C-alpha cells in the first residue's frame, strides 16, 4: 500500500536542501514498528514489513533530500550545519488532514556530514523512540518514531573502543523547519528566498499568522506552551541548540535527554553539557534566548526601518514570559487538583496564586530530595507525606493547597482528574539505560516493555511495577549524543 510522498519543502525553497539518497544498509531488519502511527499515516503495517515497505523505511526511494540549516550550538553560531546523517524522505497528508514529514536518521554521509560517518547507533535511536512515545502519550507535542531498524553493520562507538550495532530511525514530524533553518537563510540567502521560507512556514504551521510578525508571535507562543509542559513533566531535553527548536511547536531531536528522578533545578544528564547551559531549570530561559535568535532573522522582513522592526520583535518577545507562566500555571493547577475556570477565578485563584504555591513546592521537593514524578502521583493518591524526610513543612504546604482547592463539585472533579494528569510511568534513566544495553546485546524485549509502559503512562500495571521507581544511580546518570 504505497502512499506517494511529496517534496513540498524542496519545491518551496530549493536553496535549503540538496538531492541526496541514503546509503543502502547491508542487512536491514525491523527492530520496532509503530503500527498505530503507521495507520495514522495511511500505511499498512504489513506493507511496511514487506520488500517495498523496507525500501521506503531505509530510504531506497527517489526524490529524497538532505536539508541545510545553521544554528547556535551552546551559544556559539555555526553557519553550516544540516542533515549530516539524515535524509528527508518526503511529506504526506495523514488521516487527520495534517501534513507530516518522514525523515531518516543514520542514513550515511551527506554533503553536511562535517567529517562524520553518517551512521547512528541502535541505543540512541531506540531512546528517541521511547521518549517520543512517552511525550505523545502525555499529550505533549513531539516528533515520533515510525520505525527503528538495525542495519546489520557494526559502527564506530560514541565512547570506548567497542563497535556498536548500527541503526536507522524513521522519524515523523510536523516538519523539520527549525530556528536554525531561518538562521541559515539569513546568513546565506537573499531576501526573496527568505520571504518564500516565511510564506511556506506560515502555510505549513501557522496559517492564522499575518506575515513575519504574526509568525514570530505564533512560534513564541507555541514554544512557551511546549517548554511549560516539559517542565511540569520533569523532562530535560539536554541540547536546546537553535537547530533543535522546531517552528511547529513540537519537541525534536532527543539525543542526550532524560527525565528527573529527584527534583533538581540544576539537573544535567548530557555528557556534552559540561557547563550546565541546558539544565532542567534553565530551559524556559534558553527557549527565550533561542526565540530571540529567531526574531533576529525576521527583523529585516518586518519593517524598512530597523529600529521599528526591532521594537516590533521585542514587543512580541516580551510576551513570552506571560504566555509561559499561563501555560505552566494551567498545567500545574491540573497536577495539583486545583479547579480552574470562571468560578475559581472570581474567588481569586489565578495563575499568580498557583505559581506562588508551586514555587514553594519545588523548593521543598529540592530541599528534601523528593522524586518529581512520584510526588505528584502520590499527592493524588493521598500518600505524599511519606516521601518527605521531614513531613512537617509538607503538611504546612498541603494546608495551603487545600485552602486553594476549596470544596464543592469543581474541586472534587479536579482531584479525581489528577490520576489522568500525573503519570505513574516515566522513562526512568536507569531502567531505560538497562533496556538499551540489552538491545545492544541483541535482546530488544526490555525496550518493547518500556515502549508499552510509556505508551499508557497513567496506568498502574503489575507487569510494569518495576519501572515506577527511580532505581539506583539515576541522579548521576549521563546520556550520550547519538553521533
| Residue among 208, 221, 255 at smallest CA distance from 236 | 255
What separation in angstroms does the CA of 284 have from each of 230, 246, 327, 481?
9, 15, 12, 22
Question: Would you state the cell numbers that stand for residue 140, as one nine-digit string?
Answer: 505533549
Q: In this structure, is the dihedral angle defined by the CA atoms of residues 96, 37, 232 and 175, taken in order, positive or negative?
A: negative
SS3 207: coil
Owner of C-alpha cell 536491514: 28
E strands present in 174-257: 235-236
- Among 445, 475, 456, smallest CA distance to 36 is for 456
Q: What is the DSSP letter of 477?
A: -
**Nearby residues of 187 by Cβ (< 8 Å), 6 or more positions away:** 70, 79
Q: Is 243 a catalytic residue?
A: yes
Separation CA 261–CA 235 (nearest Å): 10
Q: What's the CA gap between 82 and 97, in Å, rounded?
A: 28
Q: Which one of 243, 253, 273, 433 is the catalytic residue?
A: 243
Task: Report d(CA 165, CA 151) in Å as an integer.
Answer: 8
Element (H, E) at 301: helix 283-302
Gap between the Cα atoms of 14 and 9, Å rounded? 7
Tell me the DSSP string of 74-124.
Answer: TTEEES----SSEEEEEEEE-TTS-EEEEEEES----TT-TT----EEHHH
CB-based contact 44:1 (threshold 8 Å): yes
Point out the residues that are catalytic. 243
Amino acid at each position: 500500500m504505497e502512499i506517494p510522498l511529496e517534496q513540498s519543502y524542496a519545491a518551496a525553497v530549493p536553496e535549503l536542501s540538496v538531492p541526496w539518497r541514503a546509503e543502502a544498509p547491508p542487512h536491514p531488519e525491523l527492530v520496532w514498528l509503530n503500527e498505530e502511527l503507521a495507520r495514522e499515516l495511511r500505511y499498512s503495517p504489513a506493507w511496511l514489513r514487506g520488500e517495498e515497505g523496507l525500501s521506503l523505511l531505509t530510504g531506497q526511494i527517489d526524490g529524497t533530500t538532505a536539508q541545510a540549516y545553521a544554528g547556535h550550538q551552546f551559544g556559539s553560531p555555526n553557519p553550516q550545519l544540516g542533515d549530516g546523517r539524515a535524509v528527508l524522505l518526503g511529506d504526506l497528508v495523514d488521516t487527520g488532514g495534517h501534513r507530516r514529514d518522514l525523515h531518516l536518521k543514520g542514513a550515511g554521509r551527506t554533503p553536511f556530514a562535517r567529517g562524520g560517518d553518517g551512521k547512528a547507533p541502535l541505543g540512541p535511536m531506540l531512546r528517541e523512540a521511547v521518549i517520543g512515545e512517552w511525550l505523545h502519550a502525555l499529550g505533549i507535542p513531539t516528533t515520533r518514531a515510525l520505525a527503528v531498524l538495525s542495519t546489520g553493520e557494526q559502527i564506530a562507538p560514541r565512547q570506548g573502543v567497542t563497535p556498536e550495532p548500527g541503526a536507522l530511525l524513521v522519524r515523523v514530524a510536523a516538519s523539520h523547519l527549525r530556528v536554525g533553518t531561518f538562521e541559515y537563510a539569513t546568513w546565506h540567502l537573499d531576501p526573496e528566498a527568505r520571504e518564500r521560507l516565511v510564506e511556506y512556514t506560515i502555510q505549513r504551521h501557522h496559517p492564522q499568522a499575518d506575515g513575519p510578525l504574526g509568525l514570530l508571535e505564533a512560534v513564541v507562543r507555541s514554544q512557551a506552551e511546549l517548554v511549560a509542559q516539559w517542565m511540569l513533566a520533569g523532562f530535560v531535553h539536554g541540547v536546546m541548540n537553535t537547530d533543535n527548536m522546531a517552528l511547529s511547536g513540537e519537541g525534536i531531536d532527543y539525543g542526550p535527554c532524560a527525565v528527573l528522578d529527584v527534583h533538581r533545578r540544576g539537573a544535567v544528564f548530557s555528557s556534552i553539557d559540561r557547563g550546565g547551559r541546558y539544565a532542567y531549570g534553565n530551559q524556559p530561559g534558553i527557549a527565550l534566548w533561542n526565540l530571540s535568535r529567531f526574531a533576529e532573522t525576521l527583523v529585516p522582513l518586518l519593517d524598512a526601518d530597523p529600529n521599528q522592526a526591532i521594537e516590533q520583535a521585542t514587543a512580541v518577545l516580551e510576551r513570552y514570559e506571560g504566555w509561559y507562566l499561563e501555560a505552566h500555571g494551567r498545567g500545574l493547577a491540573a497536577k495539583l487538583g486545583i479547579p480552574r475556570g470562571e468560578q475559581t477565578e472570581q474567588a481569586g485563584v489565578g495563575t499568580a496564586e498557583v505559581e506562588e504555591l508551586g514555587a514553594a513546592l519545588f523548593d521543598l521537593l529540592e530541599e528534601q530530595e523528593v522524586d518529581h514524578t512520584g510526588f505528584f502521583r502520590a499527592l493524588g493518591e493521598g500518600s505524599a507525606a511519606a516521601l518527605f524526610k521531614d513531613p512537617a513543612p509538607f503538611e504546612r504546604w498541603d494546608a495551603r493547597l487545600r485552602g486553594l482547592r476549596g470544596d464543592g463539585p469543581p474541586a472534587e472533579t479536579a482531584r479525581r482528574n489528577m490520576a489522568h494528569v500525573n503519570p505513574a510511568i516515566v522513562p526512568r534513566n536507569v531502567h531505560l539505560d538497562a533496556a538499551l544495553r540489552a538491545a545492544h546485546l541483541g535482546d530488544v524485549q526490555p525496550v518493547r516493555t518500556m515502549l508499552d509502559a510509556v505508551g499508557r503512562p497513567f496506568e498502574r500495571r503489575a507487569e510494569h511495577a518495576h519501572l515506577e521507581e527511580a532505581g539506583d544511580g539515576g541522579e548521576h546518570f549521563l546520556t550520550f549524543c547519538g553521533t
